[in-house]
Amino acid sequence: MADKPRGLLRGAKFNGKHTTIIAPAYPMVELLRDDSRVSKIVIGIIKPRKGGGISLKAVTIEAGLRITISGPSSVQQFYAYTADPEGVKTALDGLFSTE
């Protein structure tokens, strides 16, 4: 896997404790980082998985969104704190096509 783009996980929206993300998550993290409706992004642990394509699932929770990104060999969960979860979810819909 390639190194993360320089400065991707810097700024007030990240707590700096967990900074490893899977490659398919880069576009999603960039979108959330640049979205003014998102106040904080929490990066979860990476779990292995077998096969499959790239997919994104966003579920509304009390504080915003729980986002699960699946890649070819791993899956990772993120939390996006926002007062407008439906608006952010709509912005995320265009990232990956589901087949």
pTM for this entry: 0.84
Asked if pLDDT for residue 44 goes beyond 50, the answer is yes
pLDDT classification of 42: cutoffs 50, 70, 90: very high
Give the domain ranges of the chain: 23-93
Q: Is the pLDDT of residue 2 over 80?
A: no
Q: Is the pLDDT of residue 10 over 80?
A: no
Q: What are phi and psi of 3, to 5 degrees?
A: -65, 155
Predicted local confidence at residue 77, as pLDDT: 94
Amino acid identity, position 36: S
Task: Name residues whose C-beta falls within 8 Å of residue 99's C-beta, 6 or more positions apart in sequence.
Answer: 53
SS3 for 80?
strand
Q: What is the largest CA-CA distance in the chain?
A: 35
Q: What average pLDDT does range 61-76 have in this prediction? A: 94
